[in-house]
Amino acid sequence: MSVVTRSFVEEARREKLAALREQGILPFEYGYDRTHTTAAAVESYAPDAEVPVRVAGRIVALRPHGKTTFGHVADHTGRVQFFLRRDEVGDDIYSALKLLDLGDHIGLAGVMFTTKTGEVTVRVAELKLLAKAVRPLPLGKEDSEGVQHSGLADTETRYRERYADLAVNLESRETFKTRARLIRYLRNFLDARGYVEVETPVLQPIYGGALARPFATHYNALDSQFYLRIATELYLKRCIVGGLDRVYEIGKDFRNEGIDKEHNPEFTMLEFYQAYADYTDIMQLVEEMLHGVVVELYGDPVIERFGERLDFKPPWPRSEYTWLVREHAGVDLATAEDSVLRATLVNRDVENLDEIPRTKLIDELFKHFVEPQLVQPTFVTDYPLEISPLAKPKRGNPALAERFELFIQGRELANAFSELNDPDDQRARFEAQSAARAAGDEEAHQIDEDYVRALEYGMPPTGGCGIGIDRLAMLLTESPTIRDVILFPMLRPES
């Protein structure tokens, strides 16, 4: 049997809870007929009229003065001051005030007026307790201007108890409102261009579409092992085969990897695919989309983030992958042996340097030498084909792939291809990936026979792209870690 340990403050609040019940006051109401938010109540004030309002929210300040009491109640729109006089509300309501605490939800009915200091205030005629907070919120203290500052500074607690973080940190609430506006814009942008939003399986018999380790689970009804998807790509391209020429999905992907400031095992991606387009068409679309979202959210294509002035006005620079590696790492990928790649990465903090395959060596070179240089929105184009198993070979140079990634402030935000639609070429690449997997590369692709079969029915020329919603939200909200933009990030279980 578990033992609940409570603080002195929590015990005191529970004593108040018991006293409320003894007085016949319901501490957890069923609803409240609210007519105004706090912001609307403040706006409704008219000097020559007594405007009636009914507001509701949390108590964030309470200042009793004998037979009068001032306080503030806050909701999602802001806060408003309230005022009670004992001889106006009656002894029963006024005496119940001593059983209320900061964080309690209350409903207030009254009229708007201004105090001697000019603050618009609700003159309370009726007060109703809506929900008793038996655990105190870390509300912190008010400054000299009456602004409430959060008392929740510990980052681990903020992520683990996001409900408390949202309740006391205006900045956190604004971050997630901005994220919602971001997603709404991306959805509207694609809808307006004839894209169809679809849903594809989260549980998959064969995972694919990226180089990553999956989460595995057992499907009891089918007595089979299934995987949480690592990408939506292969199912969305099945839709292209089926005649849905423009499709997208905004959904969760899952990768069984480490957790750091840029990675959470559960994350949100936008993937979209367009028939009869190639990667240059998709590049132009991404440029237009992200320029548009920055202007929509901030009113200007130039914003400052993390001390850098970022300019989203098109056109953005385009730089070839192999040229960037040669420029910043001094390595020609067309001729360099694996030993040269390893020698270049010495002292670069790469784990298992002597064991990782060539594809991973190339990726590490780019990550360590090139990515930090890519501050302004930049399209990196024409990747080595060997690290792009789902892209078409570049016209005129089959050693490269028609692929681009978008980088801003050294962070990859989008990945796009002229999609491979030759079933025989796709099978050969799957087989090469399978061989790499057998040699120890746990992130290599499996062979997806059903996807190859879909390609055999004929997939038109297609351009596709994936955009990391979490990383884009990090950039736009100037959040230093991915945990700041995921409501409930992955954390080690509490002991």
For residue 109, the domain's CATH number is 2.40.50.140
Does residue 135 share a domain with residue 42?
yes
Query: Predicted confidence band at 195 (pLDDT cuts at 50, 70, 90)?
Result: very high
Average pLDDT, the chain: 94
Q: Is the pTM of this model over 0.75?
A: yes
The DSSP element (H or E) to which 465 belongs, if any, is strand 462-468
CA–CA separation, 216 vs 458, rounded Å?
31
Does residue 205 share a domain with residue 91?
no
CA–CA separation, 21 vs 16, rounded Å?
9
Mean pLDDT in residue range 468-490: 97
Within-domain flag for 237: yes
Do 477 and 175 contact (CB within 8 A), yes or no? yes
CA–CA separation, 358 vs 493, rounded Å?
36
Q: In Å, what is the CA distance from 319 to each residue of 324, 371, 403?
A: 7, 12, 12
Does residue 188 share a domain with residue 311?
yes
Q: Which of 117-131, 145-159, 191-205, 338-352 has the lowest mean pLDDT?
A: 145-159
SS3 106: strand
Q: What percent of the chain has pLDDT over 70?
A: 97
Does residue 132 share a domain with residue 178?
no
Within-domain flag for 48: yes
Does residue 116 share a domain with residue 205?
no
The three-point CA angle 394-391-404 to 5° equals: 75
Does residue 176 share a domain with residue 126?
no
Non-local CB neighbours of 417 within 8 Å, separated by 6+ positions: 279, 388, 390, 391, 392, 401, 402, 403, 463, 464, 465
Mean pLDDT in residue range 438-447: 78
Residue 478 per-residue DSSP state: T
Does residue 182 share a domain with residue 46?
no
Within-domain flag for 162: no
Query: Predicted confidence band at 366 (pLDDT cuts at 50, 70, 90)?
Result: very high
CA–CA separation, 109 vs 123, rounded Å?
8
Residue 300 per-residue DSSP state: S
* pLDDT on residue 211: 82
- The sign one gets for the Cα dihedral 65, 66, 69, 71 is positive
Within-domain flag for 363: no
Partners of 64 in beta bridges: 69
Q: Considering its fold, how many domains does the chain have in total?
A: 2
User: What range does the domain containing 266 cover?
Assistant: 172-317+376-484
Q: In Å, what is the CA distance from 57 to each residue of 21, 51, 99, 115, 131?
A: 21, 19, 17, 21, 10
Whether the ω angle into residue 47 lies within 30 degrees of 0, i.e. cis, is no
Does residue 205 share a domain with residue 133?
no
CA–CA separation, 62 vs 99, rounded Å?
12
Q: Which pair of tokens denotes residue 248?
A: 């997208």
Within-domain flag for 201: yes
Does residue 198 share a domain with residue 260?
yes
Q: In Å, what is the CA distance from 402 to each residue of 94, 360, 406, 417?
A: 73, 19, 14, 6
Does residue 134 share a domain with residue 236?
no
How many other CB atoms are found less than 10 A from the CB of residue 482?
A: 21
Highest mean pLDDT among 5-14, 205-214, 305-314, 357-366: 305-314
Within-domain flag for 345: no
Residue 494 per-residue DSSP state: P
Does residue 197 share a domain with residue 118?
no
Does residue 433 share a domain with residue 289?
yes
With 80 as the cut, is the pLDDT of residue 2 above it? Answer: no
Q: With 0-12 CB in 10 A as exposed, 13-18 as middle and 19+ as buried, what is 119?
A: middle
Query: Predicted confidence band at 244 (pLDDT cuts at 50, 70, 90)?
Result: very high
Within-domain flag for 370: no
Mean pLDDT in residue range 199-226: 94
How many other CB atoms are found less than 10 A from the CB of residue 38?
A: 25
